[in-house]
Amino acid sequence: MSEGRDVEEIEVALLLEAIYRRYGFDFREYAPASLKRRVWRRVHAEGLETISNLQARVLHDPACMEQLLLDLSINVTTMFRDPSFYTAFRERVVPLLRTYPFVRIWVAGCSTGEEVYSLAIVLDEAGLLERTRVYATDINEAVLGQARRGVFPLEKMQEFTKNYVQAGGMRAFSEYYLADYDGAVFDRRLTENAVFAQHNLVSDRAFNEFHAIVCRNVMIYFDRQLQERVFRLFHESLARFGVLALGHKETIRFSAFADRFEELDGSEKLWKKTS
């Protein structure tokens, strides 16, 4: 390894240690390549030259940490992201959920909430919304605030509508929101039973037992060891026959927990806990 790369790795490790000790956010086991890219982006945005400079600023300036947190937590999301996932959810998961008198779903890493509203719409159309409580969590309080508000840019409605139709939506998508000067204000009913709360998958524990856990496009940023710990957390948090839903690029297949789940839908990454 070149000396430059060597030094860079030391700097990144020290920065992550500093963040952990000062603020309690633990990024030490995140996949390094994308982490480094994002750290450099913040170094440049702050007008600094080295990662060590950023470390000093982050330690003394919580506002800089807030910015860095936004950079590191990668909040990209959309409504009905991967429409085929929602079709599979309607076909394979909803019938299982129907068997419970009261349903609990954990949406882990919910970002600004688009996924939560999408699931709420699917549940509503399946007649399950009223008896379901969705626990929507994320490490990042700022995105949770947006998720709670449920107001999304009007410019996004075309994309959301297209995804909704592809996902097998049963109504006119516009029935779910009112266009305001502020943006598209989503129907309050969709999140009436939802709880939005900060939860860190790296350091926080199980907090309930769920019939389904949806954690899409989050584990992709974790290294193998951390993924394994999160799979343990999910396994502990699922009821027997509970469903785990991951993102298209994520899998439990190579984990030690693989044999405790049965595949419900291989391409849509749906598994059912069996033991």
Ligand X SMILES: C[S@@+](CC[C@H](N)C(=O)[O-])C[C@H]1O[C@@H](n2cnc3c(N)ncnc32)[C@H](O)[C@@H]1O
Q: Which of 200, 250, 255, 263 binds ligand X (CB under 6 A)?
A: 200
Q: Is 191 in contact with 120 (CB distance < 8 Å)?
A: yes
Interface with ligand X (CB under 6 A), residue total: 21
Q: Which of 29, 138, 265, 268 binds ligand X (CB under 6 A)?
A: 138
Q: Is 35 in the site for ligand X (CB under 6 A)?
A: no
Number of H-type helices and E-type strands within the chain: 10, 10
Among positions 243-262, residues that touch ligand X (CB under 6 A) are 247
**From the CB of residue 50, how many other CB atoms can be counted at a distance below 10 Å?**
13
Token pair 């998958």 is found at: 201
Judged by CB under 6 A, the stretch of 35-43, 48-56, 59-67, 76-84 that binds ligand X is: 76-84
Token pair 């956010």 is found at: 25
Q: Which of 38, 57, 81, 269 binds ligand X (CB under 6 A)?
A: 81
* Helix (H) or strand (E) segment spanning residue 135: strand 132-138
Q: Is 269 in the site for ligand X (CB under 6 A)?
A: no
Among positions 141-170, residues that touch ligand X (CB under 6 A) are 143
Q: Which of 218, 219, 233, 270 binds ligand X (CB under 6 A)?
A: 218
**From the CB of residue 10, how many other CB atoms can be counted at a distance below 10 Å?**
12
- Angstrom CA distances, 109 to 76, 129, 178, 208, stand at 11, 21, 26, 16
**Bridge partners of residue 186, in order along the sequence:** 177
Sequence-distant (≥ 6) Cβ neighbours of residue 225 within 8 angstroms: 29
Q: Which of 75, 146, 161, 251 binds ligand X (CB under 6 A)?
A: 75
Q: Is 211 in the site for ligand X (CB under 6 A)?
A: no
Q: Is 212 in the site for ligand X (CB under 6 A)?
A: no
Question: Least distance to ligand X from the beta carbon of 203, Å?
Answer: 8
Residue 75 phi/psi, 5-degree rounding, is: -100, 15
> End-to-end CA distance of the chain, in Å?
44
Question: Least distance to ligand X from the beta carbon of 14, Å?
Answer: 20
Q: Is 124 in the site for ligand X (CB under 6 A)?
A: no
**What residues make contact with ligand X under the rule CB under 6 A?**
73-77, 81, 109-111, 115, 138-140, 143, 200-202, 216-218, 247
